[in-house]
Every structure is written in C-alpha cells, then in structure tokens.
A = this chain, B = another copy of it.
C-alpha cells in the first residue's frame, strides 16, 4: 500500500482577523506549508471550509485560493462537512494520493467567523444542523450542546464542575502555543464562577469561534527528495463516518457512534491498539463533546469520560494527553480550519517540535474532526516514522 506522508505544515494564529481577507489568510498558511515541505509543488488543492458562502459571500474557494496562491491550473475543490470540513479535506487529499493519481496534494483549512456579528454566525452555524427539524425551532449548536451536557450530568450524576479540567487543561496547554487564541491559564475557581452561556454550558465549556487557517502538504513517501529534512510523519489510518444530523433521531444521543466507528477503522488500518496512541486531539468545541469523544474512542467507559479530565489523565503527562496545543478551547475554533490545525499540531508533536508541550516519545497521535454533535466524524492516525 502507498505510504502517504505529511511533508509540510503551516498555520497562523487563531483570532479575530478583521484586517485580512479570507484569501490572504489562506495564503499565509499555504506559503508556510509550502516552505516547510521544502518547496514541493502541489497538483491538487483541497479546501476545508464550513461557512464562507454564507459568512463571506464567497463560494468556489478551490479555484479562488489555488489562483491566489500562485497555483493556477491545479485541480481544486472545497470539501464541506460542517465542523469536520478540515478533517474531511485531509481525508480527500489522502485518498487522492493513495489513488496514485496525485503526487503532491495541498490541504488548507480556512474560516472567517468574526466578520459578521454573533447572531449571524450562530444562524449560519445552525444551517449545519437539521434545518427543517432543529434549526427551525431556534436550536443553535450551543443550545443543543447545553441540552446534551444537562442530560449527561443527569444520567451520570456529574456536577458541572466535573467538566472543569477540560477547559483548564486546554488553557494550560495554550500558554506555550504562539498560534493559540488564548494563552492564559485559568483556575478552577475561574471556571466555577464563569458566566453561563446556555444552561448548563458556561463560557469555559464553549470553544471560541474565530478566524484561522492551517495547511498541510501531502505526498507519497517514495516521492520525497533525498535531501528531505523533516522528521517523517505518515498517515497510518484514515476513516470517516456519518450519523443523523438531528439528535432526536438517535438511539442514544449520549454516544458518539461516528467517533467510535471512524477511530476504530483508522486504528485497524494503522494496525495499532488504543494503548499505542500517545495523544488525542479531540474535537472540544464544547467540553461535553470532549467527554463523549473520549468515551466513544474507548479511552473511558460510557459515562466516565469526564473522570479522565478530573483525574488529570488528559494533561500532557497523563494517561492520554488531549488538546496538547490548547485544543479548540484555547487555540480557538476556526470552523473548517479546525481539523487541519489538529493535523498540524499532531505533526508538530510527532516531529518533536512541540516545545514546552512536547509529549515524550510520541509515536502515534489520533486526531478527530467532528461536524455537529458527531453527525460527521473523521479520524486520522498520524505516525512518526523512525
């Protein structure tokens, strides 16, 4: 089987980038990834984007960004799967390389959320839920996650403070990440006193929607130049799965089937078991998502994901470090770019370039990009090649 490797990474700081356009933003990450790859020339561009047609009045990003990046002529598309758009774009690039039809592929995740006001953004995000049965009732993604968290607390007899360490860990890890939106550690008391966003989610249970871009250069291992300088990172497993958009259509809304299925397939392809995974970049758009993801992948039994946080098992020196560069909570959640940031961060870990946040001897990282409440999940296992 073809060995697909990530040969270049690029990213910008997540934040409020009112001063820069969508295409300029994307260009920053592309140029960084191109340079990092040693100048490999892409033949295909996969853009992960969630809401630019709505929020930036700009569809057709593939051709637009390819041209703007000086890559006029290459094939280019936008891949959309709500919040999982970044992971989905990575998977399409992976499939393109694996097919043997494309030698070098560029993935760029890009999103601008802050050009519009909050209510417009919430409404646009609601279009990624079931419009006819959920959004039409006024159910925003945040309100839905709040209901999910309440149900989880009721069924598992957890208090809201049981979720505190998801935020504390993310913020602690964000401090040393210069691309993180928030670089300030928070304390338990801060979490406990935080204002409620939507009962039972407080402001530290919700990742900030923001602007950002990240990029990857993928190629086949055997095509790398002999003087290739970067530590090799292979995509050892890649899989995706879908579920109902509407939560009411699920047998058990407190179990993320797609997270389980896609992670399981990716691990099987990589030929590894759960214990071999050194860190997990989960999709912590809401702390309840983090808990449910840990359970679905198998790091905790059902109803006990929050305990991994409470017992500090998700910290950098814990059993399964999560959100190692700040996660969506502290690095920020730039929609369709989020899944690409996860990959960039995982490569940083596997290359041993994560600085103060470095996981010792990291060989396998699991990254997982979710769309809605795991209506889509895309999982990848990245592996350091020795």
A118 to chain B, nearest CB (A): 18
Q: Decide if A231 is an interface residue (CB 8 Å cutoff).
A: no
Please indicate which of the listed interface residues A59, A75, A99, A245 has the most CB atoms of chain B within 10 Å of its own CB: A59
Q: Decide if A13 is an interface residue (CB 8 Å cutoff).
A: no
**Quick one: which of A43-99 are within 8 Å of B by CB?**
45, 50-51, 53-54, 56-64, 66-67, 71-82, 88, 91-92, 95-96, 98-99
A109 to chain B, nearest CB (A): 14
Interface residues in A, total, Cβ within 8 A? 67
Contacts of A53 in B (CB 8 A): 51, 53-54, 80, 124, 127
**Copies of this chain, count:** 2
Q: How far is the CA of A50 from the CA of B61 in the complex (A)?
A: 12
A82 near B99: Cβ-Cβ < 8 Å: no
A56 and B98 contact, Cβ closer than 8 Å, known pairs A72-B242, A73-B257, A242-B72: no
A60 near B372: Cβ-Cβ < 8 Å: yes
Q: Beyond A74-B242, A75-B241, A95-B101: 4 further Cβ-contacts under 8 Å?
A: A63-B244, A63-B245, A67-B242, A74-B241
Give A contacts to B, CB under 8 Å: 1, 21, 23, 45, 50-51, 53-54, 56-64, 66-67, 71-82, 88, 91-92, 95-96, 98-102, 124, 127-132, 135, 238-245, 249, 257-258, 261-262, 371-372, 375-376, 378
